[in-house]
A and B are shown apart, each in its own frame.
Chain A
Amino acid sequence: DVKVTQSSRYLVKRTGEKVFLECVQDMDHENMFWYRQDPGLGLRLIYFSYDVKMKEKGDIPEGYSVSREKKERFSLILESASTNQTSMYLCASSKGSGNTGELFFGEGSRLTVL
């Protein structure tokens, strides 16, 4: 069964802490994405990557950075967490060639910043 795995389901951090959210996919997908989900706002794209070491800003990149050192792994980094980054974070992947636009999602990481 194909999978996108987010290592942390629930995290509680303090304001100013550095936060790492890890995502691994086993489908050999070229593209990987980080979204943020907030009630009534749907999903908003933070960053995406279409290849190893490549990254592109999404709609809300401020306060976030990403790292893609290996094809299967895409990390989201909050350099200095703030309370307004309390949210559900969803990682997704999609194919490169033959891409229909279908996204495969992880289970999500719920982050609370105190």
Chain B
Amino acid sequence: GEDVEQSLFLSVREGDSSVINCTYTDSSSTYLYWYKQEPGAGLQLLTYIFSNMDMKQDQRLTVLLNKKDKHLSLRIADTQTGDSAIYFCADPNTGGFKTIFGAGTRLFVKA
């Protein structure tokens, strides 16, 4: 079946760039999403990329999509302590009714 995989932990120093990687087995979805979950809270949509794009930039966030390798990444420039959270990549399979989430990458930012 379809699957989305991500590494579970990433630790960076404040001011460095963070790169969170995700691989998926197959996607016919129009979008691929990144959600952010802050401690004690639900998930919020952070950013997304159209499946016909290679890259999307949104302030400190850069999303890269390599459809050939089925690889999605999220880069956070100048990482701050407030970026400490769990980041989920998600494939909104079948219009979001059966969204496939990765296990989530917990980002630790050291001051």
Inter-subunit contact B42/A4 (CB<8 Å): yes
Q: How far is the CA of A36 from the CA of B90 in the complex (A)?
A: 15
Which residues of A sit under 8 angstroms from B99, Cβ to Cβ? 43, 45, 101, 103
Which residues of B sit under 8 angstroms from A31, Cβ to Cβ? 96-97
Count of chain A to chain B residue pairs whose CB atoms are closer than 8 Å in the complex: 63
Please indicate which of the listed interface residues B42, B45, B88 has the most CB atoms of chain A within 10 Å of its own CB: B42
B105, chain A: closest CB distance, angstroms: 10
**Chain B, 78-100, CB within 8 A of any chain A CB:** 88, 92, 95-99
Query: Given contacts A42-B101, A101-B29, A101-B31, are A106 and B96 in contact (CB under 8 A)?
Result: no
Q: How far is the CA of A103 from the CA of B95 in the complex (A)?
A: 10
Q: How far is the CA of A94 from the CA of B29 in the complex (A)?
A: 16
Total number of B residues with any Cβ neighbor in A under 8 Å: 25
Total number of A residues with any Cβ neighbor in B under 8 Å: 23
Query: Given contacts A101-B33, A102-B33, are A42 and B102 in contact (CB under 8 A)?
Result: yes
Minimum-distance CB pairs A-B, first 10: A101-B92, A101-B96, A105-B42, A42-B103, A42-B101, A43-B101, A105-B43, A107-B42, A94-B96, A106-B42
**Chain A interface (Cβ < 8 Å from any Cβ of B):** 4, 31, 40-43, 45, 48, 50, 56, 58, 90, 92, 94, 99-103, 105-108
**Chain B interface (Cβ < 8 Å from any Cβ of A):** 4, 8, 29-31, 33, 35, 40-45, 48, 88, 92, 95-99, 101-104
